[in-house]
Structures are given as C-alpha cells and as structure tokens.
Amino acid sequence: MKRKLLVWLFAAIFTMPAFAQNDFDIAKNVDIFVSILKELNDKYADEISPGKLTETAIDAMLASLDPYTVYYKESEIEDVRMMTTGQYGGVGALIQQKGKDVVISEPYENTPSQKAGLRAGDIVKKVNGQSLEGKNSEDVSAAMKGQPGSTMTIEVFRPTENKTLTFTIVREEIKMPNIPYSGMIGDEVGYIKLDQFTDKAGEEVRSAFLQLKKEGMRYLILDLRNNGGGLLHEAVNIMNIFVDQNVQIVETKGKIPEMQRVHKTSMPVTDKEIPVVVLVNEHSASASEIVAGAFQDLDRGVIVGKKTFGKGLVQNVLPLDFNTSMKITVAKYYIPSGRCVQNIEYFEKDTTQGAYKIPDSLAVAFKTKHGRTVYDKGGVEPDVLTEDTILSDVLYALVVNNLIFDYANQYHATHPTIPPADQFKVDDAIYADFLNFLKDKEFTYETDMEKALELFKKDAEEVKGFSKIKKEYEALKAKLEEDKSRDLETYKEEIKEYLSTEIVVRYYYQKGRYQNMLGFDPEVSTAKGILLDQQRYQKILSPKN
C-alpha cells in the first residue's frame, strides 16, 4: 500500500497541468525528494509514516519563506473556512487552556452552547464519550467542531456547583460576526467595532452605519484595534462607504499577472462628509491597515492609537488535492499614497541575513491627498499617538492566574441578574467580596521590582559582595512587601473596571463587553474629544507648512 502511494505521488506530481517540461530545477528536486522518501520507506530501520514525513517537509519548506504561507491538512479545513468566511460547524463557544484543563471561557450569544446551558468556567471532560483529560485546547476545539446538524454530547465539570453535567447539543453553522458591537456614545458619536474582514464585512459596516445615522449620529469612531485583517476586497467595500466611486484604495503587485491590479471603489458613496476617527493598535494588521492607511492617505479621517502591525502582504487560499489547501503570499499591497506598510522584509534578493525588520533610516516620504507627509516605516503611524496602557503588576497577576475569571463565574452563579451592561459597575461592596474571595485563594504574586531585586541579589552573590549590602537588601525587600500589601487598594479602580467588564460578559456576552468598556476606554475618550472639537480635527488633517 505504501509503495502504491509513493508511485501515485510521483505520477501525480508529474501530471499536474502547471508542470512545465522545461522547468528542470523543479523536476530535479521533486525527483530527489520522491527518491529519498521511497528509500526511507523501504529501508529505514523502523516503520515510518510517509504522510507525516511529507507534512514535515512541506511545513519546513513553507516556514523558510514567510509566516503567512501555510499548508492546511484535511483535518484543518474548518479553520480555513473560518478564516475566509467567519463560519464553521460547531456549538459556538470560546475555550481556553487553564492549567491542565480546557474550560469554556465564553459561550457566544444565541448559539447552541448558550442555548444548551454551557457556562464560562465549565471544565470540558468528554465529547461524545471520548475523554479529553490532558488534551490541549486545539484538541478540544477539534472535537467540538463538526458538520452542522450533527449531535454532540459534552460532559463538563462545573466548579461553582461542584458537579458534573452532561449536555446534548446539535451543532449549527456558526457565523462569527464581523461587528460584535455598534452603538451610540452619547447623542452624536457613533461607534462601530470591527473584529475581522470576512465575507460581507462591507455590507455589515454599511448597515450598522446607516442604523447609527437613524439614531442621530453626526460623528463616527471606527474601531480596528486587534483586528488582524481578512479579505482585501472587503477593505475596499468599507472605504466605499466614505469615499466617492472610482477612487483607488489599494494596488497589489505580485509575480503573476492577476496580482498586478488596482482596486477602486465601485459603488456610489454613502457619506463622504461625516467626520471619522479610526482607532488602531499594534495588532491591527493587513486589511485593517488598508482601511486605516486609506483613511489617512485620502485625508478622509484621523487615525488614533498605536502604530499598526506592518503587514503589507496579500495571501490567496488555494484548494489542493485530498481536501487540503494552502494559503500563499502572492503580492505586496500599496495604499493610495503609494507606500507599502510591510514591516519585515522576506523577499529581498542577494542577502544572506534572512528576514529582517526594515529600519526607519530607509523610510521614504510620501504625500497624502492634501499634502501631508507620511512614511513607509512599516505599519500606519497614527495622526494622534496614544500612551501605552500597561496593567499594574497586581492586575496582571489576577488576570493570568484566572482569579478575575473565576470570581466572575462565582458572582454569576449567585446573582441571577445585574443592571444593564452600560450601567453596571463593581461597587465597594462587590469589591470587598472579591477581596474575601482572594483570601480563600491565598493570592500572591511577584512584582517587577521584586524580580529586579532578586536578580540584583543573585549578581551580588556571584561576586561575593552580598554580605556588604545584606542589611540594605532586606530593608528594601521589606519596603516592597509593604507597598505590595497595599496594591489591592492602590489599584482598586483599575481592578474594579476590569472586574466589571468580566462580570458583564456573563450576562450580556460580547455586546455587553463593549457597552461596559466604552465608559472607561481612554482611546475612545480621546477619539470622541477630537470629533467633538472640529477645529482640532480639521487641523490634524491639514498639511503642516
């Protein structure tokens, strides 16, 4: 059987329509590969799997190119569909690794998991009778996915009730929304959170935009933070809402003729006057950068936040034999000013250093529509740069140790209802209860200052100088312990905000998360301030003489 597989593989490669007789280099190297695989299969001391060896070779080959050119085997086909359409067959639950367990972190609203009664914090034990103990989150995710209409039995342990529960759930076609939330902030400012650019993202943004206009919107915040991108044509469709028909948004340049293409808006504009602020951060990539870059290059809106990721490459997903596929980098893209936002060079010829970050010293200046100077520094540089938001040591420890997650689950189990998402706040009584919860958990953590002090001690011991400063070290350590004991009070407001949102998600899901967060999001506050100060807004978009 293995021998037949190798013969078929060899024959298939040489009968592919794309194979050219004069491409000797490809023929030579394919011949070498098949010969090696055949000899290994026939003579290696132990049994081998030709399929696994081939997958290893493919993965290594693609990894030498760039991180975005990826092979998907048959078992990953649902991931490919999710990537391009936002759809998959499953029950609609977000899961996460928690120590050795995999837990439900969030059932999505109006999905089979939520309707069946799964809750955040439920520990997944079995799916269809198969034990998943010791498995990782990828294994559990694969077990929970399946054909829409198929039945899944899931056994979970619920810590808040200290019992094992079994649910029978019919899988459905799950569509992850491009827009998890849109709504008004006050009377005049609309807000649209765009999470991804899958199929129909442009239609969904236009629909949300028109609804907000009906509600009195005069200004818009388009939030692209943490949006890793998606379909290029959906980025063009979104820009079509805000700029005239037949305006160039992006140009792609690749090796094959089909990739030498200019992408323009094709429909009449929806609203070319409304002031817009686009929020971005270091995780805004690809299609997000096309939209943000087009807004900036066309002087159509103000960009606020952090410098974007810097992914100026285009991928196509190509179907292959046996229900496999490959995502392949086919082009670079260039936004309206002519710049490419790519941050890392993968393709430069005549270099032995491999992939490298493009230095700022090589940045080239470009001009926006109205004459502002912008640069191809790798990523889109915001017009208004915001400060980094860094969690305090104590909040970071509470989050990574899942203590806020666990308390929110406990609170939900004992409180059937809470006020509306945009009104709920953790008050002092809830916070006091949270502190009692932490006492039972024996919460402890190490601050960055303590880590630095221990490194200093280690260095001093290595040079045999610690005895000279031992008294000062112990005094400083005691001072840090004293300060740390007050951290839960010092950072009380920061912790309360985070805790409020985590609790709200248990009742109001993703929409509730954004409704609650908007009240204390500093970048949203900055964006709103710019929009309501139209003199400042116009000044930002004007060329500096």
Same domain, 108 and 201: no
> What gap in Å lies between CA 103 and CA 118, rounded to an integer?
10
Three-state SS at 465: coil
Q: What token pair was written down for 517? A: 């967060």
Q: Are residues 343 and 410 in the same domain?
A: no
Q: What is the H or E stretch that residue 472 is in?
A: helix 466-485
Cα separation values, 219 from 212, 224, 240, 272, 435, Å: 10, 16, 17, 12, 41
State the catalytic residue, choosing from 113, 182, 284, 286.
286
Rounded Cα–Cα distance for residues 66 and 49 (Å):
27
Amino acid at 246: N
Q: H helices of 44-174, where?
A: 50-63, 77-85, 112-116, 137-144
To the query of whether residue 297 is one of the catalytic residues in this protein, the response is yes
Q: Is 485 a catalytic residue?
A: no
| Cα 441 to chain centroid, rounded | 31
The answer to whether residue 505 is domain-embedded is yes
Nearest C-alpha neighbor of 341 from the set 379, 295, 291, 292:
379
As given in the structure block, the two tokens for residue 532 are 């309501």
Interatomic CA distance for residues 107 and 509, integer angstroms: 8
pLDDT at position 506: 98
pLDDT, residue 476, reads: 84
Question: In angstroms, how far is the first alpha carbon of the chain from the final one?
Answer: 75
Q: Is 82 part of a structural domain of the chain?
A: no
Give the CATH number for residue 165. Answer: 2.30.42.10
Predicted pLDDT at 361:
66
Q: What is the DSSP pairing of strand 373-375 with strand 365-367?
A: antiparallel
Q: Is residue 78 part of a domain?
A: no
Domain annotation covers residue 425: yes
DSSP assigned state of 76: G
Q: Phi first, then psi: give them for residue 122, nearest 5 degrees.
A: -65, 130
Distance CA 111, CA 173 (A): 9
Q: Is residue 74 part of a domain?
A: no
From 344, 366, 385, give the residue that closes a domain: 385
87 in helix, strand or coil?
strand
- Select which of 145, 311, 377, 511 is catalytic: 311
Q: Give the CA distances from residue 468 to residues 449, 450, 451, 479, 490, in Å, rounded to whole numbers and listed in that order.
A: 21, 20, 20, 19, 34
pLDDT at 475: 82
158 has which bridge partners? 163
Return phi, psi of residue 305, to 5°.
Answer: 135, -135
**Domain co-membership, 187 together with 296:** yes
- Is residue 286 annotated as a catalytic residue, yes or no? yes
For residues 52 and 196, state if they share a domain.
no
Same domain, 192 and 339: yes
pLDDT at 448: 81
CATH number at residue 326: 3.90.226.10
User: In percent, how much of the chain has pLDDT > 70?
Assistant: 93
Our count of domains for the chain comes to 4
Residues 211 and 349 reside in one and the same domain: yes
**Within this chain, do residues 419 and 441 fall inside the same structural domain, yes or no?**
yes
Q: Is residue 70 a part of any domain in this protein? A: no
Domain co-membership, 7 together with 92: no
Is 402 found in the same domain as 348? no
pLDDT at 181: 97
Q: Kindly report the length of the chain.
A: 545
Backbone φ and ψ for 348, nearest 5 degrees, come out as -65, 135
Tokens of 364: 């080239």
272 and 402 assigned to the same domain: no
Q: Is residue 231 in a domain? A: yes
Query: Could you say which of 385, 405, 438 is where a domain stops?
Result: 385
Question: Do strands 189-193 and 219-223 pair parallel, antiparallel, or not at all (unpaired)?
Answer: parallel
CB neighbour burial string for 412-429, b if at least 16 within 10 angstroms, e if fewer: beeeeebeebbebbbeee
Find the farthest-apart pair of alpha carbons in the chain and give their distance in angstroms, rounded: 80
Show which of 175, 194, 227 is a domain's final residue. Answer: 175
In a domain, 131, yes or no: yes
Residue type present at position 159 = P
Q: 195, 297, 406, 521: which is the annotated catalytic residue?
A: 297
Q: Please report, for residues 68, 174, 259, 379, 380, the alpha-carbon distance to residue 346 in angstroms, rounded to integers and kept in the order given.
A: 11, 36, 18, 16, 19
Domain span holding position 252:
181-385
Same domain, 466 and 424: yes
Kindly state whether residues 256 and 367 are assigned to the same domain: yes
Residue 206 parent element (H or E): helix 201-214
Local mean pLDDT, 10-residue blocks, the chain (545 residues): 43 46 79 94 93 93 92 85 85 96 97 98 97 94 94 98 98 95 97 97 98 99 97 98 98 92 97 99 97 99 97 93 92 96 69 57 89 93 94 94 97 98 97 94 82 82 77 81 83 97 98 95 98 98 86
Q: What does DSSP say about strands 325-334 and 313-319: parallel, antiparallel, or unpaired?
A: antiparallel
3 state SS of 314: strand
